[in-house]
Amino acid sequence: MESISAITKELKSIPASSPEGFHHFIAKYTDDDRDGVKKLILSAEKKIDEYNTEVARTESLKVYEHKYEDFGYICGIDEVGRGPLAGPVYAAAVVLPKDSKILYLNDSKKLTAKKREELYEIIMKEALSVGIGYRSPERIDEINILQATYEAMRDAISALTVKPAVLLNDAVTIPGIDPEIKQVPIIKGDAKSVSIAAASIVAKVTRDRLMEEYDKQYPGYDFASNKGYGSASHIEALKNQGPCEIHRRSFIGNFI
């Protein structure tokens, strides 16, 4: 007879996205009368309930995808980096398969860094196409952050390997887009659409990785932690060290 610790280890090894594994675990140990095993079976049943809840939540985020699925390819668009004092603004465009089974998609700000990284890898593997665009701090200073964001979004769309029929946008209508492509602006879209949520994750992870590299190049500003946003330590460093090459001059006038 297996020890409780070995059975516990077996349960912990089952991926959260594998209800079949939990069902198999329950069937395997259902006749074990030890109290410790009974508790583990209850834990497995709870994991199945959590999985079913997540499936239902994910399906609720496919309302817009189902509404426009007969149009053709549906693309989610989102940006990250409009508010920071330093670094570029990034946009991502993601076309998911109609039968996408990716779970745990959400507004990237509501996910842990570890979860974003995990989902990024899954999205990049399973998406039909992903496009990424960005604009530099210099360009942001030149034309303002909103116009720079629109340029990054248009580049992300242009980088797709398929032509979308519908753009699901997080709250905006992007100027300069082919009029044949339908745009659907959705307020707080990254929490209401799996496609926009996927785009928000790709944009966030891509920019965060860059800011971590910038932290090595421009030490002292703590870019790896604050990602260029105006944290107290970042502002203090800005006052003491002055701006570096990636600071947005149009954003930092109040601090230097």
- State the pLDDT at residue 18: 87
Would residue 35 be called left, alpha or beta, if left means φ above 0 and alpha means ψ between -120 and 50 degrees?
A: alpha
Nearest-10 crossing angle of helices 19-29, 35-60? 160
Spatial separation of the C-alpha atoms in residues 22 and 9, rounded to whole Å: 13
200-236: per-residue pLDDT in tens?
999 999 999 999 999 999 999 999 999 999 999 999 9
- State the pLDDT at residue 1: 79
Three-class SS string for the chain?
Answer: CCCHHHHHHHHHCCCCCCHHHHHHHHHHHCCCCCHHHHHHHHHHHHHHHHHHHHHHHHHHCCHHHHHCCCCCCEEEEEEECCCCCECCEEEEEEECCCCCCCCCCCCHHHCCHHHHHHHHHHHHHHCCEEEEEEECHHHHHHHCHHHHHHHHHHHHHHCCCCCCCEEEEECCCCCCCCCCCEEEEECCHHHCCHHHHHHHHHHHHHHHHHHHHHHHHCCCCCHHHHCCCCCHHHHHHHHHHCCCCCECCCCCCCCC
pTM for this entry: 0.92
Spatial separation of the C-alpha atoms in residues 208 and 172, rounded to whole Å: 23
Spatial separation of the C-alpha atoms in residues 198 and 62, rounded to whole Å: 12
Could you say which architecture CATH assigns to the domain 63-202?
2-Layer Sandwich (3.30)
pLDDT of the chain, 256 residues: tens digit per residue:
789 999 999 999 999 888 999 999 999 999 999 999 999 999 999 999 999 999 999 999 999 999 999 999 999 999 999 999 999 999 999 999 999 999 999 999 999 999 999 999 999 999 999 999 999 999 999 999 999 999 999 999 999 999 999 999 999 999 999 999 999 999 999 999 999 999 999 999 999 999 999 999 999 999 999 999 999 999 999 999 999 999 999 999 988 8
For the chain, the structural domain boundaries read 4-60, 63-202
Spatial separation of the C-alpha atoms in residues 84 and 182, rounded to whole Å: 30
